[in-house]
Amino acid sequence: MAANGKLRIAMFPWLAFGHMIPWLELSKLIAQKGHQIFFISTPKNIDRLPKLSPELASSLHFVKIPMPHVDNLPENAEATTDISHQQVWYLKNAVDLLQQPMKELLQSLALDWVFYDFVAYWLPDIARQLRIRNGFFSIFTAPFLGYIGPSLVLINGDDDLKTPEDYTRTPKWVPFPTTVAIRLFEARRVFHLITGNESNISDFYRFGHILSNCDVIAVRSCKDFEPEWLNLVEELHRKPVIPVGQLPTTDNDTVDHTDTWRSIKEWLDKQEKGSVVYIAFGSEAKPSQEELTEIAFGLELSGLPFFWVLKKQIGPADSDLTELPDGFEERTKGRGFVCTFWAPQLKILAHDSVGGFLTHSGWSSVVEALQFKRPLIILTFYSDQCINAKVLEEKKVGYLIPRDEEDGSFTRNSMAESLKLVLVDEGGKIYRDKAKEISGLFGDRDRQDRYLDNFLTYLQTHNFEKGHI
């Protein structure tokens, strides 16, 4: 640490865009306080990040680490949103090949701290060898971390976790009412990914190794929103768990949206205040053809104006293409805006005409919506989305679309009813009110600053120089 107390910190997020954005947000906030940040990623990922304001240039440094080659991974796979689950496996294998270059890089940066995501399970060991203090920065919420539980169970393999059905049971260490946070259809969608096979390292192993070997767990969370879960994570892992605030996004535009935003804004301006449903499922999740059809007919039936960010591809093969029902666009002309490109989500959510957000409950989307007081209608697909949704449902800021627990199906009627409930019906006023009430926990800058200062004080007072090893 420099004599003036300024830190040198490296950040190494997982390559998915939904991870990079909150990591960048945290990096910007720390750099604004004059600390030196080294944001490490592959060249293509760094090139697709939003541009920084010039005043950050002297404290936030992008460091490009070359993407290793692995077979079966298409060109550009690390920097696209059109990637299959199988390819995500290969991408993780590729990141595992970065161990030696990463060691050399970290050594050359004279760091006080390094923070990593859940994928680079080998990084705590490297940091320890280099005598660099290190932490896991979790963009996953405290409820998700609490839910996946004690690391040793995960590393050694849990006898109870043999089937997707087992995965849906609320773990014995969760003493809260969030029951059945993982639903059967969601468990089936991803079970093979989290449990792994001989040739792959499972996500459970990665999480387990990281959580048990890091010095500190920093979480995108705040005590006022989920105190009991933060305490649970601390109890489970017996190490400091520091909430860094919800990191409300300030700018996530990766492309110059000047012209497109003009046409989007023109359309939004014509709609009544609070009337539009905004629909987007983040950078990875994509509805199947059946789901997409029901959403489309549900929108038609609801009669509500909508702005829909639609990804047509669910996987790399042409057979994975999904299509809107015949005549949908003509029938909803004027009332609906279907956007097939990367949308300026933050700007859209900030617009007054948006009255609710049909979301998969990826945490960045949730933070972005709630900072602008938009209530949520939730359709989850897998991973942390399910437990996020349960917590949001308990807090009454989100309404979960009723689905068949076995196969996850839902009807166009329930889609239409859910949208109307949250946006217009008297019975759904509670969602609209609660979203307003809670928005300060997500978007308030002073609160965010307090969390950040608390985090930085911890980093400054716990380093090798001070003997806290």
Least separation in angstroms between CB 237 and ligand UDP: 23
Give the binding range for ligand UDP (CB under 6 A) out of 114-122, 128-136, 210-218, 337-345. 337-345
Minimum CB distance to ligand UDP smaller for 215 or for 384: 384
> What gap in Å lies between CA 101 and CA 331, rounded to an integer?
55
Least separation in angstroms between CB 254 and ligand UDP: 8
Minimum CB distance to ligand UDP smaller for 18 or for 208: 18
Residues 19-38, one symbol each (x = binds ligand UDP by CB under 6 A, - = not), give --x-----------------
Q: Which of 149, 245, 282, 408 binds ligand UDP (CB under 6 A)?
A: 282
The verdict on 346 binding ligand UDP (CB under 6 A) reads yes
The verdict on 203 binding ligand UDP (CB under 6 A) reads no
C-alpha pair distances (Å), 341 with each of 63, 141, 251, 310: 28, 28, 17, 8
- Sites for ligand UDP among residues 368-407 (CB under 6 A): 368
Closest CA to 81 of 293, 374, 278, 280: 280
The number of beta carbons lying within 10 Å of the beta carbon of residue 441 is 20
Map tokens 């767990």 to a residue.
217
Give the binding range for ligand UDP (CB under 6 A) out of 260-268, 316-324, 363-371, 398-406. 363-371
How many chain residues interact with ligand UDP (CB under 6 A)? Answer: 20
Residues 162-201, one symbol each (x = binds ligand UDP by CB under 6 A, - = not), give ----------------------------------------
Give the binding range for ligand UDP (CB under 6 A) out of 82-90, 187-195, 222-230, 359-367. 359-367
Q: Specify the length of the chain in residues.
A: 469
Q: How is residue 208 written in tokens?
A: 């387990």
Residues 297-336, one symbol each (x = binds ligand UDP by CB under 6 A, - = not), give ------------x---------------------------
* 91 neighbors 78 (Cβ within 8 angstroms): yes
Least separation in angstroms between CB 249 and ligand UDP: 6
How many Å from the N-terminal Cα to the C-terminal Cα in the chain? 15
The verdict on 18 binding ligand UDP (CB under 6 A) reads yes
Q: Which of 221, 364, 380, 439 binds ligand UDP (CB under 6 A)?
A: 364
Question: Residue 453: which residues within 8 A CB-CB, separation 6 or more?
Answer: none
Closest CA to 72 of 85, 60, 86: 86
* 443 neighbors 433 (Cβ within 8 angstroms): no
The verdict on 353 binding ligand UDP (CB under 6 A) reads no
> What gap in Å lies between CA 105 and CA 102, rounded to an integer?
5
Q: Which of 365, 418, 439, 448 binds ligand UDP (CB under 6 A)?
A: 365
Give the binding range for ligand UDP (CB under 6 A) out of 24-32, 147-155, 276-284, 402-410. 276-284
> What gap in Å lies between CA 45 and CA 460, rounded to an integer?
29
Beta-bridged to residue 408, according to DSSP, are: none
Closest residue to ligand UDP, based on beta-carbon distance? 18
The tally of CA atoms less than 13 A away on the side-chain side of residue 59 is 16
The verdict on 285 binding ligand UDP (CB under 6 A) reads yes
> What gap in Å lies between CA 332 and CA 299, rounded to an integer?
9
Instruction: Read off φ and ψ for residue 321, nearest 5 degrees.
Output: -70, 140
* Element of type H or E holding 243: strand 241-243
The verdict on 13 binding ligand UDP (CB under 6 A) reads no
* 447 neighbors 228 (Cβ within 8 angstroms): no
- Sites for ligand UDP among residues 236-275 (CB under 6 A): 249, 252
Minimum CB distance to ligand UDP smaller for 49 or for 280: 280
The number of beta carbons lying within 10 Å of the beta carbon of residue 369 is 27
The verdict on 280 binding ligand UDP (CB under 6 A) reads yes
Q: By the criterion CB under 6 A, which residues form the site for ligand UDP?
A: 17-18, 21, 249, 252, 280, 282-285, 309, 342-343, 345-346, 362-365, 368
